[in-house]
Structure 1
Amino acid sequence: MDKDNIKFTIKELLDVINEEKFYDLIKISDIDKYVKKFTAYKFFQLMIVAQINQMESLTRISQKLKNTEEMQKNFLINEISTSQLSRKQRILTPEMFERIFHYLVRVILARTKKQAIIRNIGKLYVIDSSTMSMCLSQYPWASFRKTKAGVRLHLRVVVTKNEIIPDKAILLPAKHADRTQMDELVEIEPDAIYLFDRGYVDYKKFDHYCLKNLRFITRLKKNAEIEVLNQQAPDPEKLIFKDAEVYLGNHVNGTKMQHSLRLIETKDQDGKTVTIVTNCFDLTAKEIADLYRYRWKIEIFFKWMKQHLKIKTFYGKSENAVYNQIWIALITYCLQVLMKLKYHYEGSLLNVQRCLVDCLFKGLNAFIKSLFRKPKRTSKGRRPNDWDRQFNFIVQQFEEGEVSHLDDLTYDPLFI
């Protein structure tokens, strides 16, 4: 095949956000006015590559472009200085990358097969936030505490049996509490269930959700005031130690809820008691307890992002630079999920990223071959001894009179 006709992996990765689609989404007509070669789209492409490879600095990105002929051919640009990268990162607005992220989310959800985790629910949403800590002297605009700065990513994800899909994100300085973003992240949607932790406990909002028939499951704070209306029999075999209908709050401080909730006590994997409240009265207590365990999926997502993308340290110190980097990290995650879905790959997303690192500027066939390569090792690994089988074999020998070998000092009955 002619080398010029080979489809490169980087082109396939960015096919869903090609140059035409990029400019159509950002809706800024004069963004490249007076720009000769380093356009906003080329910056976007370079930052995607930097995220996949977890490049440590803008200087490293500049060096990588200068030393990699394949990058130069794909991006039609020979070199870019560190200062040009820094300037572009500072002047481009985060809103444009936010639009691209939400577009990719819609594409992923359209391509994802609907698989209900349990009966009677549509989507399962999980809401939480994660803070990226920073030095206060270098990032004064993100002041968080007296000696600390930080940015908080408020996130809603859709959880399926196979994927964790970021659905909606809000980036703010870390001083904004989780509860302040509930109106943005919790939307009225029939048949959906929202999972969130104690940072989102708000009795007035719970009453509003009950009024709108919006279903939720959350943990209850230890100091909550509870009025028990009635109780169901516990089921310790299923780790259900309490199942009651309750009112939360009290009249004195005006927190008393108008709607009753369901309170369930179960245990986590460490044996600690977990108190759950929900307005789902149509599900069994075990189903609710099992659903709440899916809340950890968002923790897995945050951990994956911080370990395998570049969001713990930043290329620039301005607000735009930091937010742009985080949005592009989320976009990179979405692009990798789309590659996994497109080729119906059932392995881990980390392996998709590793294959991208190795084959990003090679032909697409090289990436597909790497992705589906079968391991050469066929051994099942070290297997445990079947002590019961060996003991029964010795007993059988004894019963049949085959005992002469037991007088041999070189015989070890553990290795037959």
Structure 2
Amino acid sequence: MAHCNTVLNQVVNFFKRHEFESLARKHHVGGSFRSFNRWTQFMALLVGQLSGRKTLRDLVENLAAQGHKLYHLGMKKVPRTTLARVNEEQPHQLYKELFHKMLGRCEAIAPKNRFKLDAKLFLLDATVIRLSLKVFPWATYQQKKGAIKLHVGISADGYLPEFFDMTTGKTHEINWAKALRLPEGSFVVFDRGYTDYNWYQALIDSKVFFVARLKDNALVEYFQKRRGRKAKGVVVDQEIALHGMKDRLRLVQFNAEDGNEYRFITNADHMKAADIAELYKERWQIELFFKWIKQNLKVKTFLGTSENAVQTQLWIAMCVYLLLAWLRFKSKLELSAQQMLRLLQLNLFERRNLEHLFRPPKNTPNPQLALL
């Protein structure tokens, strides 16, 4: 029988060790480590995400029990107090930069969006994760409640989180969105929480197309309706002006099959009205993204209480998300990300071929998995 490394060992090949060490030297504060390093921190928290460990003690004890299988990964011993201190003190920016490097690799092989647009399509939204203000005093939200807010911009090419950031719960999503540098010619879709006419105008000036919902209390001036036969569900397609904006917009009123009526505004005059409605419908994918990471990754409970420890855990969780995306894109697996994660959790320290783990034996082996 052919020798196999552990599943964890094979998965870790996704992360370039020399690239990681370069980032570790760049993002280091204080004196040099004696019997610990950032790679060990990363591997420990990566295992915590992949194995679903709930507490720091649980994670450390699990690593100790599997110590003989971790030797070839270059890990050092993981004392609980040392790991906790490094999580609190060493900059999370290491993992933020690692995430963006991994993102570039995933984007290079991601499938194109279903609209076959030449330009990028981004879906924006934010979600709140509530925290105890007594335990996380920096996470200000309401008078007696704490929370953090995850701001995300999903690319419709492979549904990758191309824009990701964390703020306190009090930060409004529009303030985060205004700081984004969206590519010229790209499309961005968002809900009514991002209503800001100055930002709309800035997007137009930057030659970025957007699709959004129109608020019920918006001050609207109506102009001529667009000519042509309307597609099914399209009730209104006409030019409008919003109070305070210099450029006119397009209003598309759409009646969905469920009977609900939607009023979309956009500056994409070159697209069909029905396609505008479909673009907004695509925004549901970011809701699915939030649901998935909350159910499958450790992004609601944390192994440290400082803002840096929370950021560290979140960025490593996003690296795990990219790891699963990479496996799906590279090998064209039909398994869902959740199915893949469950298989990894059950077999993380087993010596099994990664291809055989994900693909039933009756199927023809796919040599592309060996490229990991």
The question of a shared fold, defined as TM-score above 0.5 by the shorter chain, is answered with yes
How far apart, in 2, do the equivalents of 1:273 and 1:185 lie? 30
Counterpart selection for 1:109 from 104, 107, 110: 107
Cα deviations across residues 165-198 of structure 1 (Å, max 9, x unaligned)?
Answer: 11021211111101101233341322x2111111
Distance in 2 of aligned mates of 1:16 and 1:225:
52
CA distance in 2: counterparts of 1:236 and 1:110, whole angstroms: 38
Tell me: CA distance 1:151–1:76, structure 2 relative to 1, closer, same or farther (3 Å). same
Q: Which residue of 2 aligns with 1:158?
A: 155
- Letter of the 1:182 partner, please give it: A
Shift of 1:234: 9.2
Deviation of 1:27 after TM superposition, in Å, equals: 4.5
Q: Distance in 1 between matches of 2:346 and 2:29?
A: 33
Alignment of 1:187-198 (within 5 A): 187-190=182-185, 192-198=186-192
Asked whether the 8 Å contact 2:236–2:253 carries over to 1, the reply is yes
CA contact (8 A) 2:128 2:149 kept: yes
Deviation of the 1:9 alpha carbon = 2.4
Conserved 8 A contact 2:304-2:310: yes
For the 8 Å contact 2:324–2:340, the answer to whether it is kept is: yes
| Cα distance change, pair 12–218 in 1 and its aligned pair in 2 (3 A) | same
Amino acid in the other structure paired with 1:343 = S
Equivalents in 2 of 1:194, 1:181: separation in Å? 14
1:11-59 CA distance string (max 9 Å, x none): 3322232321112234527569542332111110110110112210101
1:243 is aligned to: 237
**Corresponding residue of 2:370:** none
Tell me whether 1:357 sits opposite 2:345 in the alignment: yes
Alpha-carbon shift at residue 363 of structure 1 (Å):
3.5
Structure 1 stretch 100-109 or stretch 367-376: which is displaced more?
Answer: 367-376
Question: Of the candidates 8, 21, 28, which is equivalent to residue 10 of structure 1?
Answer: 8
AA at the equivalent of 2:52: Q
Q: Confirm or deny: 8 A CA contact 1:142 1:150 kept in the other structure.
A: yes
Q: For residues 96 and 77 of structure 1, what CA distance do their matches in structure 2 show?
A: 18
Q: How does 1:62-211 map to 2 (within 5 A)?
A: 62-75=60-73, 79-113=77-111, 115-118=112-115, 120-160=117-157, 163-190=158-185, 192-211=186-205
Change in Cα spacing, 1:31 to 1:345, as seen in structure 2 (3 Å) is farther
Contact 2:222/2:240 (8 A) holds in 1: yes
Q: Which residue of 2 aligns with 1:388?
A: none
1:41 aligns with 2:28: no
| Structure 2 residue 307 is matched with structure 1 residue 312 | no
Letter in 1 for 2:165: I
After superposition, the Cα gap between the structure-2 partners of 1:17 and 1:32, relative to the gap in structure 1 and judged at 3 Å, is farther
Following the alignment from structure 2 to structure 1, what is the Cα–Cα distance between the partners of residues 257 and 133? 38
Partner SS, residue 323 of structure 1: helix
CA drift of 1:307 comes to 0.2
C-alpha distance in 2 between matches for 1:76 and 1:62: 16
Q: Which has the larger radius of gyration?
A: 1
Partner-residue secondary structure (3-state), 2:270: coil
Tell whether 2:282 aligns with 1:294. Answer: yes
Choose from 271, 277, 285 the match for 2:265.
Answer: 277
**Aligned-pair CA distance for 1:272:** 1.9
Relative to structure 1, the CA distance from residue 234 to residue 174 in structure 2 (aligned partners, 3 Å threshold; closer, same or farther) is: farther
- 1:143-176 C-alpha deviation (Å, 9 max, x unpaired): 110121111111111113xx31110212111111
What is the match of residue 252 of structure 1? none
Paired with 1:41 and 1:32, the residues of 2 have a C-alpha distance of 17
What is the aligned-residue RMSD (CA, Å)?
A: 2.3
**Is the 8 Å Cα contact of residues 66 and 349 (structure 2) preserved in structure 1?**
no
1:97 deviates by: 1.0
Q: What TM-score results when the alignment is normalised by the length of structure 1?
A: 0.81
Secondary structure at 2:207's aligned position in 1?
A: coil
Between the aligned partners of 1:235 and 1:66, the Cα distance in structure 2 is 68
Counterpart-to-counterpart distance in 2, 1:156 and 1:47: 24
Distance 1:52 1:32 in 2: 30
Letter in 2 for 1:172: T
| Paired amino acid for 1:49 | V
Alignment check: 8 A CA contact 1:139 1:149 kept: yes
1:373 aligns with 2:370: no
Displacement of 1:121 in angstroms is: 4.0
* 1:224-239 aligned within 5 A: 224-232=218-226, 238-239=232-233
Counterpart CA distance in 1 for 2:350 and 2:265 is 52
Measured in 2, the distance between the counterparts of 1:258 and 1:29 equals 45
Letter in 2 for 1:85: L
> Residues 268, 308 of structure 1: CA spacing in aligned structure 2 closer, same or farther, 3 A cutoff?
farther
Residue aligning to 2:335: 347
Task: Give ranges in structure 2 of 5+ residues lacking alignment.
Answer: 364-372
Q: Return the alpha-carbon distance in structure 1 between the equivalents of residues 362 and 314 of structure 2.
A: 35
Report if the CA contact (8 A) 1:51-1:332 is conserved. Answer: yes
Percent of paired sites with the same residue = 26
Tell me the secondary structure at the aligned position of residue 268 of structure 2: coil
TM-score, normalised to structure 2, is 0.90
The AA in structure 2 aligned to 1:371 is F
Residues 121, 246 of structure 1: alpha-carbon distance in 2 compared, 3 angstrom cutoff: farther
SS at structure 2 position matched to 1:213: coil
Partner SS, residue 26 of structure 2: coil
Secondary structure of the 1:133 match is: strand
Can you list the C-alpha shifts for 1:309-362, whole angstroms capped at 9, x where unaligned?
001111111111111111111111111111222222122111111221122223
| Separation in structure 1 between the aligned mates of residue 257 and residue 45 of structure 2, nearest angstrom | 40
Deviation at 1:126, TM superposition (A): 0.7
